[in-house]
Structure 1
Amino acid sequence: MARKRSKRARKYTFLIIPEGRGKIWKREVTWREIESVFGLLIALFFILSGSIGGLAYYRHAYTATEAIRQENARFEEERHKLLTKVSTLEYLVEKAQRAVNQLEVSLNVTTDGVLKGVGPVVDDGVVAPTAAELSANLETPKGKKGYSLEGLDTTLDNMEGTAKAVVDRLDTIYKLSRGRELFLSSVPSIWPTRGLITSGFGPRRRPIRGGTTFHEGIDIAAPQGTPILATGDGIVTFSGYKHGLGNTIIVDHGYGITTTYGHCSENFVKEGDIVKRGELIGTVGRTGLATGTHLHYQVEVDGIPVDPMRYIHEKM
C-alpha cells in the first residue's frame, strides 16, 4: 500500500477555460507555493495599510503644524499691535508728565512728591519709541532679549503708577491755582472810589479835634453820591452807623483781610451779603465826624491797619 502523501507535498491544478475554442490554461502548484503567495499578499496588505496610515498621520501632523504656524503668525501680529499701543501710551504718559512739570513752572506752584517715570521724559521733536525698540527692551525670564509678558506687565504697572501720580499732581495744581485765584480776587487791589487823596496813611493832625493821631486809612475827597466799590471779593460783616465814621461798611475778604468804608452817604449792602470786586456798595458822603464829603478807606490784615496803597494796583 502506497504511503499517503503529506498535505504540503500535494499538488493542486488550476484551470482557466475560456469560452469557445480558446486554449485552456493549466497550472499545477504545491501547497507550499499557495502558502507563499498568501503570505506575500498578507505582507503586501500590511505594508500598504501601514503606508496609508503613515501618510494620513503625516498629513495630519503637517496640517496641525501649519495651523500652529498660522496661529503663531497671528500671535506675532497681535503682539506687534499691543507693543505699538504700549509704546504710544508710554509716550503720552511721559508727555502728560512733562506738561504737568511745565504747568507747575508757569503757575509758580509746587507739589509734594517726586514722580518716577517709566523712561526719559520725551522732549519736543523726539519721537516715541517704536514697537521694535520697546520689544527689545523687554527682558525674557531667561535673560534673553525679546518679548516677555513679565516685562510688559512691569511696563504697564509703571505707566499706571505714573498716570495716577500725574492725575494727583493735576488735582493739587488745580486746588492750589484755584486757591490762588480766590486769594487774588479777594485782595483789595482797586480804588474804592474816584477822587483826590486828602490824607494818607500814618501820623497826622486831627482835622476837627486838633492834636496828632495815627490815621489808620486814607481819605479820598469826592463829590456827594460818588459810587463806592468793593475793592475785592468778600462778605459784608457790618453795614450801619459807627461813631466817628458815620455810615460804615466793613467787608471781610478772607485770609485775615478786611476793608472799611466810612462817611458813606448811602449803604447799598447789608450784613451777610456777598460782594465781588468792583461791585457798587454805597456812595460818598460826609456822615459822622467829617469836614467835607469824602471816603475814609481802611485795610486791616489780621486786625492790624496797613497802608491801603500797598494793595492798590491801578491808577486813579
Structure 2
Amino acid sequence: MLARRTLGRIASQPTALGAAPSQARNMATLREIELRLKSVRNIEKITKSMKMIASTKLAKAQRAMQAGKDYGIANKEIFSHAVSEDAGKRKLFIVVSSDKGLCGGIHSSVSKATRRAIAEKDKVEEDSPVMVIGDKSKAQLSRALPKNLVMTFNQIGRDIPTFADAAGVADLILTSGAKYDTIAIVYNRFVSAISYEPAIVEIEPETLLKESPGFRTYEMEDDVTRDLSEFTLANAIYAALVEAHACEQSARRNAMDNASKNASDMINRLTMQYNRGRQAAITNELVDIITGASAL
C-alpha cells in the first residue's frame, strides 16, 4: 500500500524544473527552424546579388584583359632577343593578388606557387626577396616566408587596373634597393570563365639586357636601356594585373554561384523539416482533442 501511494505521488507531481512538454518542445523547434530559414533566405539574396555584380564586372575585366595581353606579347618579343646565359639564382618574386576575399582559392594558388618556386634551391636562392600586391597573399606569405617579404602594395585592383597603377608599382620596386638578378612575376593566368592556373613570367633587368648578345649588336646609350627596362617591367606588371583581375572576378562569380546553390539546397531541407515538424505538432494536437472528447 505504501509503495502504491508513493508511486501515485510521483506520478501526480509536475514536470521537473526547466523541462517542457513535448508539444512545447516541438513549437520551439519550429520557431528555431523558421528563424534559420529566414536567415538562409537572406544569405541567398546576398549571394545572388553578388553573383550578378561579379558577372557584370567579369565582362569588363575580360575586355581589359584582352587589351592588356598586347603588352605581354610585346615583352615576349623583346626578351626573345635578350637571352642571357647566366641570369643568376637570386630572383625577385612579385606576387599579384588583391585585397578582397570571397573568391575561392585564387589567393592561395599564387602563394603556393611562390613557396614552391623558392623551395627549388638548385634554381633559386633561399633568401630571394618577395614583394606582394594585395593584402590576402600578404597575410599568407607573411606567415610562410616572413624573412623574404620586403615590400607590399594594397588598394590596387579595387577597380580595373590601369597602366598608371602598374607604372607606380614598377617605380617603387626599382627604387626599393632590393638586390636581385632577375624578376619573376607570379600571377593567375586566365584559362576560361570557370578555371585559372598560377603562372610565372620572368623579366630581364637592365644589366642582363645590356649583356645579352641581341642588344650588344646595337650601340645604345645607357639611358635607352634603362628606360626600356623600366617600361618592360611596367608592361609585364600591367598585363599580370589585368589578367589576375579577370581571374578574381571569374572566381568570385563561381564562388557566389556555388554559395547560392548551397543556400537553395539548405532552404529545401529546412522547409521539409519545418513541414514535418508542423505536421507532427498538428497531429499531436488532434490526438489530444480526440482523447479529451472520448473521455467526456
Name the TM-score, length of structure 1 as normaliser.
0.25
The structure with the largest helix share of the pair is 2
Quick check: which has more Rg, 1 or 2?
1
TM-score (norm 2): 0.27
> 1 or 2 for the larger relative contact order (CA 8 Å, sep ≥6)?
2
